[in-house]
Each structure stands twice: as structure tokens, then as C-alpha cells.
Amino acid sequence: MGLIAAAIAVGLGALGAGIGNGLIVNGTVQGIARQPELRGTLQTTMFIGVALVEALPIIGVVIAFIVMGQ
């Protein structure tokens, strides 16, 4: 049962991160298309957002290891 829980935690974390990254990059590209002069600012904000979103699957993997260790 623990292996299934670990697989679900990692899978849902990766799925959520993929969707989140797609939305972030989509918004950034649209913003750059509307106002090209803000490219640097928008990219900086995008990279911060992507980094925060990528923390989710890492946390999922840690939870999976915790569940598997018990």
C-alpha cells in the first residue's frame, strides 16, 4: 500500500508542476508579446515562479521516501 501512495504522491506532484509551469510560461510569453520592453522583468519573475512550482514535485518525492521508509 505504501508503494501505491508513494507513486501517487510523485505522479500528482509531477502532473501539477507540469501544468503550473505551462501556465507560467504561457503567461510570460503573452506578456512579452504585449510589452516587449518588459522582457527582462517578466523573465525574472517567470524563473522565480518556475522555481517555486518545481518545489512541489521535490516535496512529493520526499514524502514518497518517507512513506516507503515506514
pLDDT at 67: 82
Domain that holds residue 46: 1-68
Give pLDDT tens digits for 46-60. 999 999 999 989 988
Number of domains in the chain: 1
Can you give the CATH number for the domain in which 63 is found? 1.20.20.10
- Choose between 56 and 35: higher pLDDT: 35
DSSP letter at 15 equals H
Q: 3-state SS string over 30-70?
A: HHHHHCHHHHHHHHHHHHHHHHHHHHHHHHHHHHHHHHHHC
| Dihedral of the alpha carbons of 50, 51, 54, 59, in degrees to the nearest 10 | -150
**Residue 42, CB half-sphere, CA atoms under 13 Å: how many?**
16
pLDDT at 9: 82
Q: Is pLDDT above 90 for 1? A: no
